[in-house]
């Protein structure tokens, strides 16, 4: 019994009913129940998804976490074999780090996929059908093939169906095709060669909206078998794409974890070779691993992205997935929809041609000017009114509003309905004496042949060859600019004369458009300046798209390449990639699958693709793209749920603001990675000195964790909250292959800043020991007050140096004093948190017990301070030399020197 849409469309109404084993009286109740069991409920089936518990488990078994589990396992083993050495507490601390990191990451990244629910919401919940010869309301999910649907203006179509009867029926297909203009639908069968169900005049498709008229139709497809279900399947089967930031963080995490594990193994072997006690050596190896695994990296990245989402929300961009923040910053191409994204998603009169000349809609229209054209615009419609406000076809609403208030001397008497063959509609009215008037509007090629005269004001003139040519030229001029052109005509009706559409008087042409958003040209200009390519992908006609592309400044050249969806479908992947090399290109009449092909072709070329959209048809491409951007006001629930970012104001300019924030995020992440990695060296070198020079261990593992997850956290977040630099949108997007953890960053952190911090930390450690009279070779117990104060001094020196380091890390080239201190309130909070945490660790019994420290006198702080200041001066000197180097000056963007 299953039939494709086009098979049904080619049949006459009676033949379609017979093919579906139905009738005009509808199915019987028993047969409907049997078919429901066979075909299933009329709903979108859920795709298999990973359970939440499995996602949570994944946060604790990735490579980064496994290294820490290994370290915790070794610590617990050591505590079991040799209790009382603090290894059990260390194991607990490491497990706590794993749980906090994993839980936080899961909480931030977890999202309940709502795309399915959104798809179901788009379909009506109750529908009117004819069963057993009578009308009844049933739940939409109970529809089956063969049911007779009864539809009227304002109804959402719940399943794919074929019209049996229709009266002036028009539907809006925007959710499936992206095209705004309502389409006429009638029961006439399609010709044998027709292949596209979206264009079939006798088919109504699930998810579309009846904007005017009414009709009855037989259902031929439900649930996932509908065109709507097919798009839903594409959305579900398109997996989430890993963002560039996710890929880089994964690479950095693996690299640092392998480095930590490798160093731990190497130095454990070294300790064994020189005869170090096994358990002491094991503790040493664990310390090496913990010192080189930046435990605060993942939560700091996550918190930095979360802060960026708050900034973007203030700029009307709602971020649904955290990594999308940074992905926006490296976007190289924006694939933008036309309707609702570049335009306002509403019809408006742009221009009219009457009396032999063009008029802009903004011109003042005196009541006496072109009264007949105005009457057609005001009264030739099938609108419904509630409290004086019209509803129905957006085009007719726009005409009604454009004409303004007019007196009506006749009473409505009837309508010659619009249909796909005639492509026009007429209404006629009668006065009390039986005389009247007929008003007609429609496609110029269908109305002009019916006209014998044309009107210039109230003067009637013959519609001769010269006049026809003038109107033909005007029509072509308006259409070439992407406007929807309607011809308006009228004629008086004699008493009791038939209301026919012959011998009309042409009143004029009215051109409508979906207006461009006011801020689009400026936003597109900023994209060009930022090195971003903007490509329009629309479901509208190529001429309409090209005209709007020029108006929006997307198209500047004389010969852009324009490809239709059919041409894209016939192209091989290689051909499409080559076509995308065109300097300017535009895609029109594009379906959901074809939009996905375009995204894939751009990604194959190494582009990072942002896709905008608002309809159901956009959802698969939104999911596939590196970054999906949906309209929050005009968009469908499906598009919003499939997207990574939702524009709360639907302004294209908000996309550019989001890109600016995204670029700032990447720069800021590099800043705080430099800051975090710097402290790894003063955490590592004390362990090397402990093994190689047989000195007391200057820093314990629990103190390392105090730095990585305590004192360093808020200052690192402060660096992640830095504002975008003024010139950030005057640079091209960064290359896709650019590494977050570059060689220059590692050299700066590990070979320059880190050793300077280590020098100050060890010097301060020995300063305290020698103050107590310690001699080289003397061993100290873990609880010895001298040892507790010395390790506390080493910890304090690292924290003090990091307080200076946070300032010099605000920019890799510009001096610290270039940035006002109070511009970043997070920085002040970070510094205050470091001071507060150090006070707790050094001067409270609880802090002393947990971290193995003792209070320090003022003299120790004064001794460590010059080392911290020296780090700042050395780094500023390095920056000065870099700014002075000719090659560096050439590379620094304007405004950063």
CATH number at residue 595: 3.40.50.1000
Could you tell me if 489 and 393 lie in one domain? yes
Beta-carbon count within 10 A of 467 CB: 18
3-state secondary structure of 891: helix
Phi, psi for 139 (deg, rounded to 5): -65, 140
Between CA 392 and CA 54 the distance in angstroms is 49
Taking the model in full, what pTM does it have? 0.66
Residue 114 scores a pLDDT above 50: no
Residue 516 scores a pLDDT above 50: yes
The answer to whether residue 723 sits within a structural domain is no
> Of 619, 641, 658, which marks where a domain is finished?
658
Structural domains of the chain, count? 4
The answer to whether residue 488 sits within a structural domain is yes
More confident residue, 860 or 78: 860
Find which of 234-243, 615-624, 814-823 is predicted with most confidence, using mean pLDDT: 814-823
Please, which residues have CB within 8 angstroms of residue 464's CB and are 6 or more apart in sequence?
A: none
Residue 892 scores a pLDDT above 60: no
What pLDDT, in 10s, does the model give residues 390-399?
Answer: 877 788 889 9
When pLDDT is averaged across residues 868-889 and rounded to a whole number, the result is: 85
3-state secondary structure of 348: strand
> Residues 95, 289: contact at Cβ < 8 Å?
no
Residue 411's Cβ-count burial label (10 Å; 0-12, 13-18, 19+) is exposed
- HSE (CB half, 13 Å, CA atoms) of 93? 22
More confident residue, 238 or 481: 481
Could you tell me if 335 and 390 lie in one domain? no
Phi, psi for 536 (deg, rounded to 5): -85, 130
The pLDDT value given to residue 604? 92
Could you tell me if 459 and 561 lie in one domain? no
What pLDDT, in 10s, does the model give residues 5-48?
Answer: 788 988 999 999 999 999 989 999 999 999 999 998 888 765 55
- Identify the CATH number of the domain in which residue 170 sits: 2.70.150.10
Could you tell me if 209 and 325 lie in one domain? no
User: What is the band of 171 on the pLDDT scale with cuts at 50, 70, 90?
Assistant: confident
DSSP secondary structure letter of residue 410: S
3-state helix, strand, coil in the chain (%, to 5): 50, 15, 35
When pLDDT is averaged across residues 122-134 and rounded to a whole number, the result is: 78
Could you tell me if 541 and 642 lie in one domain? yes
> Residues 340, 650: contact at Cβ < 8 Å?
yes
378: its two tokens = 């005001």
Between CA 680 and CA 704 the distance in angstroms is 9
Angle between helices 785-808 and 652-678 (to 10 degrees): 150
> In the beta sheet, which residues pair with residue 429?
412, 437
3-state secondary structure of 424: strand
The answer to whether residue 81 sits within a structural domain is no
Residue 511 scores a pLDDT above 60: yes
> Of 203, 237, 271, which marks where a domain is finished?
237
The answer to whether residue 292 sits within a structural domain is no
The pLDDT value given to residue 117? 44
Could you tell me if 532 and 633 lie in one domain? yes
Between CA 797 and CA 711 the distance in angstroms is 12
> Residues 170, 213: contact at Cβ < 8 Å?
yes
- Picking from 204-218, 279-293, 564-578, which range would have the lowest pLDDT averaged per residue? 279-293
Average pLDDT, the chain: 83
Residue 580 scores a pLDDT above 90: yes
More confident residue, 308 or 141: 141
Residue 119 scores a pLDDT above 50: no
The pLDDT value given to residue 468? 94
Could you tell me if 464 and 330 lie in one domain? no
The answer to whether residue 17 sits within a structural domain is yes
When pLDDT is averaged across residues 337-353 and rounded to a whole number, the result is: 82
Between CA 18 and CA 33 the distance in angstroms is 19
The answer to whether residue 692 sits within a structural domain is no
Residue 546 scores a pLDDT above 50: yes
The pLDDT value given to residue 113? 42
Residue with the two structure tokens 């380091």: 805
When pLDDT is averaged across residues 470-494 and rounded to a whole number, the result is: 90
Residue 897 scores a pLDDT above 70: no
The pLDDT value given to residue 866? 97
Q: Which of 195, 301, 287 is nearest to 253 (CA)?
A: 301
The answer to whether residue 612 sits within a structural domain is yes
Sign of CA dihedral 175, 178, 180, 186: negative
What pLDDT, in 10s, does the model give residues 455-464?
Answer: 988 889 999 9
Could you tell me if 29 and 171 lie in one domain? yes
Q: Angle at CA 128, nearest 5°, toward 124 and 129? A: 125
Phi, psi for 385 (deg, rounded to 5): -125, 135
Residue 106 CA from chain centroid, whole number: 20
What pLDDT, in 10s, does the model give residues 627-676?
Answer: 889 887 766 666 777 788 888 887 888 888 888 888 888 888 888 889 98
The pLDDT value given to residue 599? 93
The pLDDT value given to residue 62? 67
- Picking from 304-308, 310-314, 694-698, 770-774, which range would have the lowest pLDDT averaged per residue? 304-308
- Cα torsion 136, 139, 141, 143 to 10°: value is 0
Please, which residues have CB within 8 angstroms of residue 99's CB and are 6 or more apart in sequence?
A: 60
> Of 631, 658, 685, which marks where a domain is finished?
658
Could you tell me if 331 and 206 lie in one domain? no
Catalytic residues: 337
Q: Which of 449, 420, 446, 450 is nearest to 438 (CA)?
A: 450
Between CA 586 and CA 588 the distance in angstroms is 7
Q: In which domain, by residue range, is 541 found?
A: 319-344+517-658
Name the percent of the chain lying above pLDDT 90.
31
The pLDDT value given to residue 116? 36
Between CA 80 and CA 117 the distance in angstroms is 52
DSSP secondary structure letter of residue 516: B
Q: Which of 346, 345, 361, 355 is nearest to 510 (CA)?
A: 361
Please, which residues have CB within 8 angstroms of residue 487's CB and are 6 or more apart in sequence?
A: 441, 442, 443, 444, 446, 447, 448, 471, 475, 506, 508, 509
Residue 210 scores a pLDDT above 80: yes
Phi, psi for 876 (deg, rounded to 5): -65, -35
Q: Angle at CA 833, nearest 5°, toward 828 and 839? A: 130
Overall residue count recorded for the chain in this entry:
897
The pLDDT value given to residue 35? 92
Between CA 48 and CA 455 the distance in angstroms is 65
User: What is the band of 790 on the pLDDT scale with cuts at 50, 70, 90?
Assistant: very high
Sign of CA dihedral 226, 231, 235, 237: positive
Q: Helix H segments across 337-389?
A: 371-379
Residue with the two structure tokens 């997996």: 239
- Picking from 125-134, 238-247, 538-547, which range would have the lowest pLDDT averaged per residue? 238-247
The pLDDT value given to residue 236? 57
Could you tell me if 31 and 128 lie in one domain? yes
Could you tell me if 473 and 609 lie in one domain? no
The answer to whether residue 57 sits within a structural domain is no
Could you tell me if 754 and 786 lie in one domain? yes
Number of H helices, E strands in the chain: 35, 26
What pLDDT, in 10s, does the model give residues 817-853?
Answer: 888 877 888 899 999 999 999 999 999 999 998 888 9
DSSP secondary structure letter of residue 617: G
Residue 893 scores a pLDDT above 60: no
Between CA 24 and CA 315 the distance in angstroms is 55
The pLDDT value given to residue 84? 61
More confident residue, 49 or 177: 177
């Amino acid at each position: 019994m299953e039939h494709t849409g086009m098979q049904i469309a080619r049949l006459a109404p009676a033949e379609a009913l017979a093919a579906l084993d139905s009738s005009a009286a509808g199915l019987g109740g028993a047969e409907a129940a049997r078919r429901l069991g066979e075909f299933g409920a009329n709903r979108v089936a859920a795709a298999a998804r990973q359970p939440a518990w499995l996602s949570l488990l994944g946060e604790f078994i990735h490579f980064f976490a496994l290294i820490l589990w290994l370290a915790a396992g070794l610590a617990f083993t050591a505590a079991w074999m040799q209790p009382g050495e603090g290894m059990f507490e260390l194991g607990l601390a490491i497990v706590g780090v794993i749980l906090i990191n994993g839980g936080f990451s899961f909480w931030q990244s977890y999202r309940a996929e709502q795309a399915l629910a959104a798809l179901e919401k788009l379909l009506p919940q109750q529908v009117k059908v004819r069963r057993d010869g009578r009308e009844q309301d049933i739940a939409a999910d109970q529809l089956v093939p063969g049911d007779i649907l009864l539809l009227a203006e304002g109804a959402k179509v719940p399943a794919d169906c074929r019209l049996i009867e229709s009266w002036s029926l028009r539907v809006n297909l925007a959710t499936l095709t992206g095209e705004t203009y309502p389409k006429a639908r009638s029961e006439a069968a399609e010709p044998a060669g027709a292949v596209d169900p979206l264009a079939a005049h006798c088919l109504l498709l699930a998810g579309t909206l009846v904007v005017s008229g009414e009709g009855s139709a037989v259902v031929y497809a439900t649930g996932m078998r509908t065109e709507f279900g097919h798009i839903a399947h594409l959305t579900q089967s398109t997996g989430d794409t890993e963002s560039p930031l996710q890929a880089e963080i994964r690479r950095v995490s693996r690299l640092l974890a392998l480095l930590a594990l490798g160093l731990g193994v190497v130095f454990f072997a070294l300790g064994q070779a020189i005869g170090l006690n096994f358990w002491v050596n094991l503790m040493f190896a664990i310390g090496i691993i913990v010192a080189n695994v930046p435990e605060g990296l993942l939560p700091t990245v996550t918190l930095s992205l979360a802060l960026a989402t708050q900034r973007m929300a203030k700029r009307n961009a709602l971020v649904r997935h955290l990594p999308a923040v940074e992905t926006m910053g490296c976007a190289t191409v924006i694939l933008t929809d036309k309707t609702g994204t570049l335009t306002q998603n509403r019809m408006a009169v742009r221009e009219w041609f009457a009396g032999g000349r063009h008029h802009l809609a903004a011109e003042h229209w005196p009541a006496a000017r072109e009264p007949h054209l105005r009457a057609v615009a005001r009264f030739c419609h099938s609108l419904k009114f509630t409290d004086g406000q019209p509803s129905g076809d957006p085009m007719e609403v726009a005409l009604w509003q454009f004409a303004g208030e007019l007196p009506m001397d006749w009473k409505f008497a009837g309508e010659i309905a619009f249909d796909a063959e005639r492509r026009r509609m007429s209404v006629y009215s009668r006065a009390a004496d039986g005389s009247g008037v007929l008003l007609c509007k429609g496609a110029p090629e269908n109305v002009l042949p019916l006209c014998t005269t044309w009107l210039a004001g109230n003067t009637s003139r013959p519609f001769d060859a010269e006049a026809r040519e003038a109107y033909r030229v005007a029509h072509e001029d308006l259409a070439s600019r992407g406007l929807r052109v309607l011809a308006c005509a009228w004629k008086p009706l004699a008493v009791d004369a038939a209301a026919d559409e012959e011998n009309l008087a042409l009143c004029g042409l009215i051109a409508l458009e979906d207006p461009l958003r006011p801020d689009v040209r400026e936003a597109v200009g900023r994209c060009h300046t930022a090195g971003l390519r903007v490509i329009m992908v629309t479901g509208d006609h190529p001429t309409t798209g090209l005209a709007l592309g020029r108006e929006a400044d997307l198209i500047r050249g004389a010969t852009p390449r324009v490809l239709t969806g059919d041409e894209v479908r016939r192209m091989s992947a290689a051909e499409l990639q080559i076509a995308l090399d065109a300097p300017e290109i535009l895609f029109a009449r594009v379906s959901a699958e074809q939009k996905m092909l375009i995204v894939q072709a751009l990604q194959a070329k190494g582009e990072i693709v942002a896709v905008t959209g608002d309809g159901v048809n956009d959802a698969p491409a939104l999911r596939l793209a590196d970054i999906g951007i949906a309209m929050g006001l005009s968009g469908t629930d499906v598009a919003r749920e499939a997207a990574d970012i939702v524009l709360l104001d639907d302004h294209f300019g908000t996309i550019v603001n989001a890109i600016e924030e995204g670029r700032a995020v990447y720069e800021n992440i590099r800043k705080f990675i430099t800051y975090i990695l710097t402290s790894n060296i003063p955490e590592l070198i004390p362990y090397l000195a402990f093994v190689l020079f047989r000195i007391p261990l200057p820093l314990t593992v629990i103190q390392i964790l105090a730095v990585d997850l305590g004192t360093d956290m808020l200052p690192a977040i402060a660096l992640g909250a830095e504002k975008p630099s003024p010139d950030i949108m005057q640079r091209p997007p960064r290359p896709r292959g650019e590494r977050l953890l570059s060689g220059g960053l590692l050299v700066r952190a590990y070979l320059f800043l880190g050793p300077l911090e280590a020098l100050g930390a060890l010097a301060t450690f020995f300063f305290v020991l020698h103050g107590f009279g310690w001699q080289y070779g003397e061993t100290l117990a873990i609880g010895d007050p001298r040892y507790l104060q010395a390790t506390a001094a080493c910890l304090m020196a690292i924290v003090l140096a990091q307080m200076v380091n946070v300032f010099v890390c605000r920019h890799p080239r510009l001096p610290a004093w270039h940035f006002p201190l109070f511009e970043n309130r997070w920085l002040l909070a970070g510094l205050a948190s470091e001071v507060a945490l150090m006070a707790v660790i050094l001067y409270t019994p609880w802090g002393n017990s947990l971290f193995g420290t003792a209070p320090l006198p003022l003299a120790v702080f004064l001794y460590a301070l010059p080392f911290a200041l020296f780090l700042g001066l050395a780094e500023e000197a390095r920056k000065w030399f870099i700014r002075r180097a000719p090659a560096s000056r050439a590379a620094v963007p304007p405004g950063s020197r």
